[in-house]
């Protein structure tokens, strides 16, 4: 009996370790491959080298794409935080006609498969392109129409919005009513209460949503891939896709380096912000569990 | 400032939280809203503050209807049970926040903050954040925040209930002292009758959203208008017994269910209810004493004795009727013994068993 | 403040400053405006546009201006196409396998294991399983392409199959279906994992201890205490992930592009409408294919409304000021 128990005890640990092997192997391979000239399976062949890295970091296109990716991620982060915080406040703490309907809508959109709307959104963006001034020709983001960074940011914000609003509403729900009442009595308008008293209280939520949005924007693929056709305006994801599925023989080393180049900031981010992120993955679904 | 509520009602959905409440607080008065939790006292307070809009009725400040005014336009200060200090600001920023919103000059703010913080003895704490203050200190900062705008009306929402017993006592005194000194009309919500009785000039007792009484504290205790007030005020609460009044043959007697009768003094004779002569007799535990069986009104069996420190609470059974009485420190009858009880009938109360209205005091 | 009497004396003259109100409309309107506009432009309009386009012959040839109405033509074409039935079965198989083995099965397994090993190890392995979800999709799929690649580069081929004398060559074309399940599964497992873990951890500790005191083994406790307690999260994850799988195609698009019999319904809509190799985008037909999913999405979403116990999530605001 004792022997059987002793055998069984490490079983959970062993089994999860085995199940996780593909993940470890994948990341390890990419990491190793960027520093070698060739690898057969998991074994490096040939000497260690920094050639892959020097090749990509001296490529001006990649830096341009990095800037684009950063702008996309930042735009999404700032946009989603602002719009969600603003919309979540009245949904959580004001009574007005249609509140219930708007909340229900947010919840429905939360589960709604927005990616199947891309064809229609293509039409919308095309239309927006023809709007003077904002459609095209804005600095940095290019505008908000088709084939602009701004358009991609806007669509990304839209897709993330139900989650953002729902999450922020949860955070607003938890603020004490007395705090807001005190502010109103001290002389704040509700707008001022929101900005000066409530928003500072939900900083953890803003951080969580912001981090999540940044990671989301940094890795996003399908929206830029669909709505940005020029390489000039594309992001690292689309570039990596181009490299990895190219017709010509792919250079595994370079592809790995680009992949890792995109992955490292996210991983670093992830390690430092894991605690917050868990609240978002779980928290967005709050009420469901 | 004089504050009046005229037929104030507040509904949440279909439920009345406050129902047809009318009362007036004279200038400089401290009015306590007293009642068990869920009785509508906080809703009333928040309506006065402008946080809630009344469903019906009017709120008058010096005769002027303020129903449609925003809280910030009402010139009020409020102290909350949870203190509600802004967590991201330090004590000073909390205190002067209302002045910042009114764009007062900096030196004026500093002077005002200095004055109120010295008044409350928190001058040395001004740089601390709310979380770095103890409960009592937070309460003082909250009080300072309410006072700095020199409000015309001060609202207190159970301000002491989160403090420990000793601190509560000293804060009680301090709030009352400040209120008298500054002469600001105040509304004070509490569920603690001792707080209400000791601090208030007048007490408004609320129950299920309705105002049951609005009288000075002594009157509340001595001349309760309803059975609810009689049992709610005073601790331990008043004994109640169903009796019939026998008014035949010169003197009146209250006859208990088991046939024992007690003489009712003439000057304390109740009106008779509309039907029959059955009434409910109420007598406070401090008006019942344990005496030698010879001079007793009734014989009783002791079922429970609890030491309250200065006195003892003796619970007795009189023919199935439970009666509590308070006895002196030396007087602690053994369990299950038979004792004599003397009822001080000159302090008894009588209520109509149907309407539960007092048969002694006019409404 | 000794002048309190004087102050209250003058109060009457101060009081009647009636609130001046700028005519700016209620605050809630402005707070909701940005979100409302975005919702209108990117959810409402697209749903309607999808349905409208699905009734036209719009394509790269007609452009956005010279199209014609075809009524239910696209839907009739859909019904007559031989691919339709095939796509339907592929989608069904893909959703079913991924859901059962990974999004629910693996998720539950990992949640159970990581709550039964030392805390820090549990946190570590959950973090590991979250990696695929946060990794940029192209980079992630690239790892799987390496796994499947032909020797000498491929990991599975050169490290496992070759020494065993198994088949060599790129594994992807021959086992494409297996790989789309794996690729999606390793991402999908983490969602359920997190929901289940938090559900298990929120089971009251006294019940957990009491069951062991009562003589249950750890396995019996899972069977009789934990699983019944997380019944509701199980149901939720199953339904939610069904919809997610039905409509997700990003990973498949990058991994195979739909070749080798892996073109699921949502990818099909994308390929027909927006990503044809020869640049011939049939918006009309693509929209019709997508519309099927839009309708399903709406139905599913309404279903959640019931599951989410919506009314319980609704707190009445306790401030009337607007």
Give me the interface pTM, i.e. the ipTM: 0.81
Contact assignment for B101 to A192 by CB distance below 8 Å: yes
Tell me the two tokens of residue C220. 């019996």
Residues A121, A218, single domain; the answer is yes
Q: Which residues of chain C have pLDDT under 70?
A: 1-25, 152, 162-163, 165-167, 276-279, 307-314, 322
Q: How far is CA C262 from CA A6, B14, B122, C88, in A?
A: 45, 57, 72, 11
Sequence-separated (6 or more) residues with CB below 8 Å from residue A39: A29, A32, A33, A45, A252, C153
Q: How far is CA C182 from CA B102, B236, C175, in A?
A: 62, 72, 11
A84 found inside a domain: yes
SS3 call for B204:
strand
Tell me the two tokens of residue A201. 């209280």
Residues A169, A193, single domain; the answer is yes
Residues C132, C246, single domain; the answer is yes
Average pLDDT over residues B74-97: 91
Contacts of A192 in chain B (CB under 8 A): 101
Tell me the two tokens of residue B247. 């008014």
Edge-to-edge order in the sheet of strand B321-327: B288-291, B338-343, B298-307, B312-318, B321-327
Cβ proximity of A224 and A20 under 8 Å: no
Sequence-separated (6 or more) residues with CB below 8 Å from residue A131: A145
CA distance C8 to C2: 11
pLDDT of residue A283: 47
- Chain B residue with Cα closest to C1: B182
Contact assignment for B70 to C19 by CB distance below 8 Å: yes
Residues C172, C230, single domain; the answer is yes
C205 found inside a domain: yes
Residue B273 C-alpha, separation from nearest chain A C-alpha, in angstroms:
47
pLDDT of residue A139: 63
Residue A13 C-alpha, separation from nearest chain C C-alpha, in angstroms:
7
Q: Which residue's entry shows tokens 């203190």?
A: B83
User: For residue C57, is it left (φ>0), alpha (ψ between -120 and 50) or beta?
Assistant: alpha
List pLDDT tens digits, range B265-277.
Answer: 888 888 887 777 8
Chains in contact with A, where contact requires at least 3 CB pairs less than 8 Å apart: B, C
Chains in contact with B, where contact requires at least 3 CB pairs less than 8 Å apart: A, C
Contact assignment for A119 to C274 by CB distance below 8 Å: yes
Sequence-separated (6 or more) residues with CB below 8 Å from residue B329: B310, B311, B312
Sequence-separated (6 or more) residues with CB below 8 Å from residue B2: B24, B25, B26, B27, B60, B61, B62, B63, B185
Cβ proximity of C245 and C239 under 8 Å: no
Given C39, C240, C266, which is nearest A111 (Cβ)?
A: C240
Residues A66, A27, single domain; the answer is no
C141 found inside a domain: yes
- E-only strand ranges, B37-88: 56-61, 64-65, 76-79
Residues C137, C160, single domain; the answer is yes
Q: Confidence band (pLDDT; 50, 70, 90) for B46?
A: very high
Residue C86 C-alpha, separation from nearest chain A C-alpha, in angstroms:
20
Residues C71, C93, single domain; the answer is no
**Domain of A17?**
2-49
C208 found inside a domain: yes
A288 found inside a domain: no
A54 found inside a domain: no
Contact assignment for A181 to B81 by CB distance below 8 Å: no
**H-run or E-run covering B324:** strand B321-327
Cβ proximity of A81 and A74 under 8 Å: no
Closest CA to A35 of A6, A14, A55, A9: A55
Q: Which residues of chain A have pLDDT under 50?
A: 1, 283-289
Cβ proximity of B241 and B256 under 8 Å: yes
Tally the domains of chain C.
Answer: 2
Q: Are strands B30-34 and B202-207 parallel, antiparallel or unpaired?
A: parallel
Q: What is the share, in percent, of chain B residues with pLDDT greater than 90?
A: 44
Contact assignment for B97 to A186 by CB distance below 8 Å: yes
Chains in contact with C, where contact requires at least 3 CB pairs less than 8 Å apart: A, B
A106 found inside a domain: yes
- Give me the residues paired with residue B288 across strands: B343
- Chain A residue with Cα closest to C52: A120
pTM to 2 decimal places: 0.81
Contacts of C243 in chain A (CB under 8 A): 111, 113
Contact assignment for A181 to B80 by CB distance below 8 Å: yes
A189 found inside a domain: yes
Residues C95, C211, single domain; the answer is yes
Residues A198, A73, single domain; the answer is yes
Residue C100's Cα: distance from chain center in Å?
A: 16
Given C49, C154, C233, which is nearest A123 (Cβ)?
A: C49
CA distance B269 to B260: 18
Cβ proximity of B79 and B67 under 8 Å: no
- Chain B residue with Cα closest to A203: B88
Tell me the two tokens of residue B184. 């600001």
B91-101 helix and B135-147 helix, angle to the nearest 10 degrees:
20
Residues of chain B in Cβ contact (below 8 Å) with chain C: 1, 12-13, 27-28, 50-53, 61-64, 68-71, 73, 150, 152, 182-185
End-to-end, the C-alpha distance of chain A in Å comes to 39
C269 found inside a domain: no
Closest CA to A119 of C246, C44, C249, C291: C291
C122 found inside a domain: yes
Cβ proximity of A76 and A157 under 8 Å: yes
A231 found inside a domain: yes
List pLDDT tens digits, range B250-298.
Answer: 788 888 887 888 888 888 888 887 777 889 999 999 999 888 888 888 8
Report which DSSP code applies to C224.
I
pLDDT of residue A249: 63
Closest CA to A144 of A125, A162, A159, A158: A125
A136 found inside a domain: yes
Residue B78 has φ and ψ, to the nearest 5°, of -140, 140
Q: Are strands B338-343 and B298-307 parallel, antiparallel or unpaired?
A: antiparallel
C138 found inside a domain: yes
pLDDT of residue C19: 43
A187 touches chain B (CB under 8 A): yes
pLDDT of residue B153: 93
Tally the domains of chain A.
Answer: 2
CA distance B278 to C189: 74
CA distance C226 to A228: 48
Contact assignment for B86 to A182 by CB distance below 8 Å: yes
Residues C60, C95, single domain; the answer is no
Q: Chain B neighbours among A 126-185 (CB < 8 Å)?
A: 176, 178-179, 181-185
C1 touches chain B (CB under 8 A): yes
Sequence-separated (6 or more) residues with CB below 8 Å from residue C163: none
Q: Is A85 exposed, middle or buried (0-12, 13-18, 19+ CB in 10 A)?
A: buried
Cβ proximity of C255 and C109 under 8 Å: no
**Domain of C220?**
88-263
CA distance A168 to A147: 31
Residues A45, A70, single domain; the answer is no
Residues A43, A100, single domain; the answer is no
* Residue A168, domain CATH: 1.10.3720.10
Q: What number of C-beta contacts closer than 8 Å exist between A and B?
A: 61
Residues A167, A242, single domain; the answer is yes
A51 touches chain B (CB under 8 A): no
- Give me the residues paired with residue B64 across strands: B61
Sequence-separated (6 or more) residues with CB below 8 Å from residue A261: A56, A62, A66, A236
Contacts of C313 in chain A (CB under 8 A): 103, 107, 287
B88 touches chain A (CB under 8 A): yes
**What percent helix, strand, coil does chain A show, rounded to 5?**
75, 5, 25
Residues C65, C108, single domain; the answer is no
Q: Which of B8, B27, B119 to mutate to test the interface with C (most CBs of C within 10 A)?
A: B27
C8 touches chain B (CB under 8 A): yes
CA distance B73 to B68: 10
C284 found inside a domain: yes
- Give me the residues paired with residue B252 across strands: B264
């Amino acid at each position: 009996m004792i022997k059987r128990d002793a055998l069984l005890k490490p079983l959970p640990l062993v089994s999860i370790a085995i199940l996780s092997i593909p993940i470890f192997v994948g990341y390890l391979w990419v990491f190793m491959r960027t520093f070698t000239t060739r690898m057969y399976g998991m074994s490096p062949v040939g000497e260690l080298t920094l050639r892959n890295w020097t090749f990509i970091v001296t490529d001006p296109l990649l830096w341009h794409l990095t800037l684009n990716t950063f702008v996309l991620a930042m735009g999404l982060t700032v946009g989603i935080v602002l719009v969600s915080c603003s919309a979540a406040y009245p949904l959580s703490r004001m009574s007005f006609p249609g509140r219930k309907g708007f909340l229900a809508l947010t919840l429905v959109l939360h589960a709604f498969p927005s990616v199947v709307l891309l064809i229609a959104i293509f039409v919308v963006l095309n239309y927006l392109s023809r709007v003077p001034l904002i459609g095209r020709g804005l600095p940095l983001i290019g505008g908000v129409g088709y084939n602009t960074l701004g358009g991609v940011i806007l669509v990304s914000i839209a897709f993330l919005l139900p989650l953002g609003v729902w999450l922020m509403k949860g955070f607003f729900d938890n603020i004490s009513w007395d705090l807001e009442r005190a502010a109103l009595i001290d002389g704040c308008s509700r707008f001022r209460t929101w900005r000066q008293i409530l928003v500072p209280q939900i900083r953890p939520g803003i951080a969580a949503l912001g981090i999540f949005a940044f990671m989301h924007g940094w890795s996003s693929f399908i929206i830029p891939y669909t709505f940005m056709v020029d390489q000039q305006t594309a992001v690292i994801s689309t570039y990596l896709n181009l490299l990895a599925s190219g017709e010509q023989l792919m250079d595994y080393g370079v592809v790995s380096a680009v992949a890792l180049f995109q992955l490292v900031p996210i991983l670093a981010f992830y390690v430092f912000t894991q605690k917050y992120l868990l609240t978002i993955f779980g928290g967005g679904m709050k009420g469901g569990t | 400032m004089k504050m009046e509520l005229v037929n104030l009602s507040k509904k949440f959905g279909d439920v009345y939280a406050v129902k047809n409440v009318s009362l007036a607080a004279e200038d400089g008065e401290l009015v306590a809203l007293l009642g068990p939790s869920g009785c509508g006292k906080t809703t009333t307070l928040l309506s006065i503050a402008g946080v809630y809009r009344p469903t019906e009725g009017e709120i008058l400040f010096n005769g002027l209807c303020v129903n449609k005014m925003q809280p910030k336009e009402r010139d009020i200060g409020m102290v909350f049970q949870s203190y509600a200090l802004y967590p991201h600001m330090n004590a000073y920023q909390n205190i002067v926040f209302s002045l910042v919103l009114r764009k007062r000059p900096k030196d004026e703010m500093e002077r005002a903050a200095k004055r109120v913080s010295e008044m409350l003895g928190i001058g040395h704490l001004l740089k601390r954040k709310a979380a770095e203050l103890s409960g009592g200190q937070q309460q003082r900062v909250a009080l300072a925040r309410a006072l700095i705008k020199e409000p015309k009306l001060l609202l207190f929402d159970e301000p002491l209930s989160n403090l420990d017993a000793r601190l509560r006592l000293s804060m009680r005194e301090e709030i009352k002292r400040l209120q008298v000194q500054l002469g600001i009309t105040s509304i004070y919500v509490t569920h603690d009758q001792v707080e209400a009785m000791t601090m208030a000039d007048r007490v408004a007792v609320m129950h299920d959203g309705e105002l049951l009484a609005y009288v000075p504290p002594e009157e509340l205790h001595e001349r309760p208008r309803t059975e609810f007030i009689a049992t709610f005020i005073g601790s331990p609460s008043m004994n109640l017994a169903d009796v019939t009044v026998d008014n035949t043959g010169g003197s009146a007697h209250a006859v208990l269910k088991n046939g024992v009768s007690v003489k009712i003094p003439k000057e304390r004779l109740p009106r008779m209810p509309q039907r029959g002569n059955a009434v409910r007799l109420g007598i406070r535990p401090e008006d019942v004493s344990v005496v030698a069986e010879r001079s007793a009104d009734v014989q009783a069996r002791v079922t429970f004795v609890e030491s309250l420190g200065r006195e003892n609470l003796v619970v007795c059974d009189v023919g199935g009727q439970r009666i509590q009485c308070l006895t002196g420190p030396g007087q602690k009858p053994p369990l299950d013994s038979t004792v004599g009880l003397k009822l001080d009938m000159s302090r008894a109360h009588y209520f109509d068993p149907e309407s539960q209205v007092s048969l002694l005091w006019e409404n | 403040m000794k002048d309190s009497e004087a102050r209250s004396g003058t109060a009457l003259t101060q009081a009647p400053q009636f609130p001046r109100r700028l005519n700016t409309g209620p605050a809630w309107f402005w707070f909701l405006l940005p979100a409302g506009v975005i919702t209108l432009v990117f959810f409402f309009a697209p749903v309607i546009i999808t349905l409208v386009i699905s009734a036209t012959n719009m394509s790269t040839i007609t452009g956005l201006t010279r199209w014609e109405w075809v009524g239910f033509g696209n839907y009739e074409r859909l019904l007559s196409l031989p691919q339709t039935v095939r796509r339907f079965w592929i989608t069904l198989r893909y959703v079913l396998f991924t859901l059962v083995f990974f999004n629910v099965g693996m998720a539950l397994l990992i949640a159970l294991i990581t709550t039964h090993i030392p805390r820090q190890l549990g946190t570590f392995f959950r973090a590991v399983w979250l990696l695929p979800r946060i990794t940029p999709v192209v980079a992630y799929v690239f790892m799987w392409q390496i796994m499947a690649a032909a020797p000498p580069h491929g990991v599975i081929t050169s490290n496992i199959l070759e020494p065993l004398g198994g088949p060599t060559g790129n594994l992807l074309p021959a086992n494409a279906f297996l790989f789309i399940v794996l690729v999606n599964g390793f991402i999908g497992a983490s969602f359920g994992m997190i929901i289940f873990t938090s559900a298990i951890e929120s089971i009251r500790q006294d019940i957990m201890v009491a069951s062991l005191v009562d003589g249950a083994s750890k396995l019996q406790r899972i069977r009789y205490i934990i699983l019944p307690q997380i019944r509701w999260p199980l149901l939720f994850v199953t339904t939610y992930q069904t919809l997610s799988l039905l409509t997700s195609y990003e990973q498949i698009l990058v991994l195979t592009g739909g070749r080798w019999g892996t073109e699921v319904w949502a990818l099909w809509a994308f390929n027909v409408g927006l990503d044809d190799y020869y640049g011939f985008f049939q918006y009309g037909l693509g929209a019709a294919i997508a519309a099927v999913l839009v309708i399903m999405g709406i139905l599913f979403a309404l279903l959640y409304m019931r599951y989410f116990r919506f009314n319980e999530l609704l707190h009445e605001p306790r401030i009337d000021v607007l």
